């Protein structure tokens, strides 16, 4: 068992214990021990209401002009009840996101899910001596109708990827096909090894949870929120 796997399991165990403690505390099971949430009782608010019996429930679009009803949602913000996830995060990033989520969100609203990112192989051309040389090679590839994909490994910059694959054999087969189209001086390279990590998954319960997502922005390491898979 790898060191990272042991740490992830420990993090998951601590998270489960934290969630259980929070549940017992929030449901008043620990009241006998002197622990529990503060009871809010503010009858003076009811006294300040103006004609509370006149309040009526209306549909969300009742009384709105047709132009407003048909307008798109501002920023297409995630709605309460949505499940969102971000990642994957490596070990240091996972520790940072665990701390940020613990501070920003209720324990019952999020979880870290261990994940395994498969190795990535590419058909690679390069490395070249200058960006000008790359542009010249890019034009040559365009003439052969061969597309170029972004690189994710900075060590391979001043080069180009002509396709990414989950196995070396698949990348080698693609290289042979490209050679038949006139490609020269390309090789198969492992762009990234198999990686263990974690994905942050959040279940939005209300508008407050949605607003609290902003507190996680600095810990996301540039990862975007996407719908849960």
What is the secondary structure of 93-107 as a DSSP string? HHHHHHHHHHHHS-G
- One domain for residues 168 and 188: yes
Taking only the tens place, the pLDDT of each residue in 168-217 is 999 999 999 999 999 988 999 999 888 788 899 988 877 777 778 877 88
pTM: 0.44
Residues present in the chain in total: 229
Helix pair 91-104, 3-26: axis angle to 10 deg: 10
Q: How many domains does the chain have?
A: 2
Determine what percent of the chain is predicted with pLDDT higher than 90. 18
Under 8 Å between Cβ of 126 and 158 = yes
Residue 100 belongs to what domain range?
1-24+81-117+195-221
Convert the pLDDT of each residue in 9-32 to its tens digit: 887 788 878 777 777 666 666 666
* Number of neighbours of residue 49 by Cβ within 10 angstroms: 10
Q: Within a domain: residue 156?
A: yes
Please report whether residue 71 resides in a domain: no
Question: Are residues 90 and 5 part of one domain?
Answer: yes
- Tell me: do 113 and 20 sit in the same domain: yes
Asked whether 91 and 195 are in contact (CB, 8 A), the reply is no
Q: What is the CATH number of the domain that holds 158?
A: 3.30.70
């Amino acid at each position: 068992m790898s060191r990272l796997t042991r740490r992830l399991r420990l993090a998951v165990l601590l998270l489960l214990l934290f969630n259980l403690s929070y549940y017992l505390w929030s449901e008043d099971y620990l009241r006998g021990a002197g622990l529990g949430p503060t009871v809010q009782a503010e009858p003076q608010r009811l006294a300040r209401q103006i004609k509370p019996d006149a309040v009526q429930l209306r549909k969300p679009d009742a009384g709105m002009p047709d132009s407003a009803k048909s307008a798109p949602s501002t920023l297409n913000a995630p709605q309460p009840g949505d499940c969102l996830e971000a990642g994957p995060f490596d070990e240091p990033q996972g520790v940072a996101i665990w701390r940020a989520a613990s501070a920003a969100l209720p324990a019952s609203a999020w979880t870290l899910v261990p994940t395994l990112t498969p190795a990535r192989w590419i058909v690679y051309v390069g490395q070249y001596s200058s960006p000008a040389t790359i542009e010249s090679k890019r034009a040559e590839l365009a003439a052969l109708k061969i597309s170029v994909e972004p690189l994710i490994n900075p060590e391979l910059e001043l080069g180009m990827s002509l396709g990414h694959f989950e196995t070396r054999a698949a990348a080698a087969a693609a290289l042979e096909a490209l050679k038949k189209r006139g490609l020269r001086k390309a090789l198969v390279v492992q762009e990234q090894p198999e990686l263990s990590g974690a994905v942050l998954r959040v279940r939005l319960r209300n508008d407050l949870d949605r607003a609290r997502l902003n507190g996680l922005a600095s810990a996301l390491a540039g990862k975007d929120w996407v719908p849960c898979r």
